């Protein structure tokens, strides 16, 4: 295996988490005066931070899968190691935040007729398949269902993953995603006006997100390949071509989205846009991998990469903070944005150091001593 230590991926995870937090503050508090142009307008579409998470997840989990499979004596042992690692990282905080959300944010769930069904689907990570359950307990949890289903898929395809042609991975993931989203769009709009909520719920199932996970896998395959390693070592590619290509992709993606801001009413946007977004995220990840080769830059950015280390907690805690503050009718987004950010970060720090990390270290497999394991600290 080639180099697998990419410290600035944490920086991207932190940025993705904070993007979602600010986006939810803007929307929950109806912050109409929030900037609509300039760099800050990104946060008006901060939901795309979840798409960035999915591509990062494809990248990190592909690296982890290939390395774990190579080091395992047999396939059953690989499955055991892989699942133990994933469960130890994802499940404890997910269950804890679900419990806190039910008790303190939506206690009425405890007395509803379908509570057992709601709880069961969330415990099994299949809540995203049910229209009534998808955003019920801590709305951001919908993405965790897709993530866990992706992990199961990766476990199943592990023997094939490292040797499959890159073009075949691209073709399969894009084809499945486009076909899935095309069917969703057809049925959601067959009565005229689109049913936006149904479109969102069903288009964001794991098959519909497979192109984003797939482009993350392709990124992993590229950076550990001999060709990719040589290209990343080429200063012209890393310093000139990659930044220009990344900036160009961002500008093109932004332009297309703003021209088609009625997103859910446009078949090309629903079916194809996330593939373009995934390509953009792929280039951003490659740029971070390239910049991460500078030890000086990594040291300077270490405080920011710490936000990435706790980004999973930020993502899972922030909505409970927002909904708690939203009960104060007089509170505006502009007045509470820093409270939400600070509280979410503090809760994430506490849960990481005193809850997540101890459990992770207790149950996750031990890393090899000769290789850094930054990639294993992932929200994924």
8 A C-beta contact, residue 64 and residue 51: no
Q: Which pLDDT score, from 0 to 100, does residue 4 have? A: 63
Q: Which pLDDT score, from 0 to 100, does residue 3 have? A: 53
Q: Which pLDDT score, from 0 to 100, does residue 5 have? A: 73
For residue 133, tell me if it sits in a domain.
yes
- pLDDT tens digits, 74-125: 999 999 999 999 999 999 999 999 999 999 999 999 999 999 999 999 999 9
The alpha carbon torsion through 321, 198, 134, 219 (nearest 10 deg) reads -80
DSSP 22-74: HHHHHHHTT-TTS-SSSGGGGGGGTTHHHHHHHHHHHHHHHHHHHHHHHH-SS
Neighbouring CB atoms inside 10 A of 247's CB total 13
8 A C-beta contact, residue 222 and residue 286: yes
For residue 336, tell me if it sits in a domain.
yes
pLDDT top residue among 67 and 366? 67
For residue 351, tell me if it sits in a domain.
yes
Q: Which pLDDT score, from 0 to 100, does residue 379 have? A: 40
For residue 274, tell me if it sits in a domain.
no
- Indicate the range of 228-232, 268-272, 349-353 predicted with least confidence: 228-232
| Mean pLDDT calculated for residue range 209-223 | 96
Q: Which pLDDT score, from 0 to 100, does residue 269 have? A: 95
State how far the Cα of 19 lies from the Cα of 16, in Å rounded to an integer.
5
Look at residue 8 and tell me whether its pLDDT is greater than 70.
yes
For residue 64, tell me if it sits in a domain.
yes
- pLDDT tens digits, 239-248: 899 999 999 9
pLDDT top residue among 216 and 191? 216
Look at residue 376 and tell me whether its pLDDT is greater than 90.
no
From the CA atom positions of the chain, what is the Rg in Å?
Answer: 20
- pLDDT tens digits, 227-240: 998 898 888 998 89
Residues 6+ apart with CB under 8 A from 162: 66, 69, 70, 221
Look at residue 70 and tell me whether its pLDDT is greater than 50.
yes
Residues 6+ apart with CB under 8 A from 321: 339, 340, 343, 344, 347
8 A C-beta contact, residue 176 and residue 209: no
**The residue to which tokens 């497999």 are assigned:** 365
Domain that includes residue 239, residue range: 9-164+207-250+284-376
For residue 183, tell me if it sits in a domain.
no
Q: Which pLDDT score, from 0 to 100, does residue 189 have? A: 84
Q: How many domains does the chain have?
A: 1
For residue 198, tell me if it sits in a domain.
no
For residue 364, tell me if it sits in a domain.
yes
Q: Which pLDDT score, from 0 to 100, does residue 280 have? A: 96
Length of the chain measured in residues: 380
283 token code pair: 């280039």
Give the whole-number percent of the chain exceeding pLDDT 90: 77
374 token code pair: 């930054």
| Mean pLDDT calculated for residue range 250-265 | 90
| Mean pLDDT calculated for residue range 191-215 | 91
């Amino acid at each position: 295996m080639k180099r697998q230590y990419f410290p600035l991926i944490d920086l991207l995870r932190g940025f993705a988490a904070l993007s979602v937090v600010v986006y939810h503050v803007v929307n929950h508090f109806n912050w109409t005066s929030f900037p609509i142009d300039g760099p800050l307008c990104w946060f008006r579409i901060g939901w795309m931070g979840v798409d960035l998470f999915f591509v990062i997840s494809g990248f990190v989990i592909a690296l982890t899968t290939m390395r774990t499979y190579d080091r395992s004596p047999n396939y059953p042992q690989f499955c055991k190691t892989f699942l133990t690692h994933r469960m130890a990282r994802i499940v404890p905080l997910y269950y804890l935040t679900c419990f806190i959300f039910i008790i303190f944010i939506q206690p009425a769930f405890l007395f509803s007729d379908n509570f057992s069904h709601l709880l069961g689907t969330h415990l099994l990570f299949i809540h995203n398949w049910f229209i009534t359950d998808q955003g019920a307990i801590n709305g951001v949890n919908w993405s965790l269902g897709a993530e866990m289903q992706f992990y199961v898929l990766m476990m199943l395809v592990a023997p094939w993953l490292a040797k499959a042609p890159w073009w075949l991975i691209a073709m399969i993931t894009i084809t499945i995603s486009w076909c899935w989203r095309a069917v969703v769009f057809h049925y959601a709009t067959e009565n005229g006006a689109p049913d936006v909520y149904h479109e969102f719920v069903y288009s964001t199932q794991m098959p519909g997100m497979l192109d984003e996970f797939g482009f993350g896998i392709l990124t992993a395959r590229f950076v550990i390949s001999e060709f990719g390693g040589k290209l990343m070592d080429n200063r012209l590619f890393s310093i000139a071509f990659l930044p220009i290509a990344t900036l160009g992709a961002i500008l093109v993606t932004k332009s297309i989205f703003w021209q088609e801001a009625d997103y859910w009413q446009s078949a090309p946007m629903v079916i194809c846009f996330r593939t373009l977004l995934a390509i953009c995220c792929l280039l951003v990840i490659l740029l971070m991998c390239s910049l991460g080769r500078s030890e000086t830059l990594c040291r300077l950015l270490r405080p920011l990469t710490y936000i990435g280390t706790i980004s999973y907690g930020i993502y899972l805690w922030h909505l409970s903070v927002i909904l708690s503050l939203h009960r104060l009718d007089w509170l505006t987004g502009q007045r509470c944005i820093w409270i939400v950010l600070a509280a979410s970060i503090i809760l994430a720090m506490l849960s990481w150091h005193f809850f997540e990390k101890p459990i992770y270290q207790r149950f996750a497999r031990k890393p090899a001593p000769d290789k850094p394991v930054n990639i294993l600290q992932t929200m994924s």
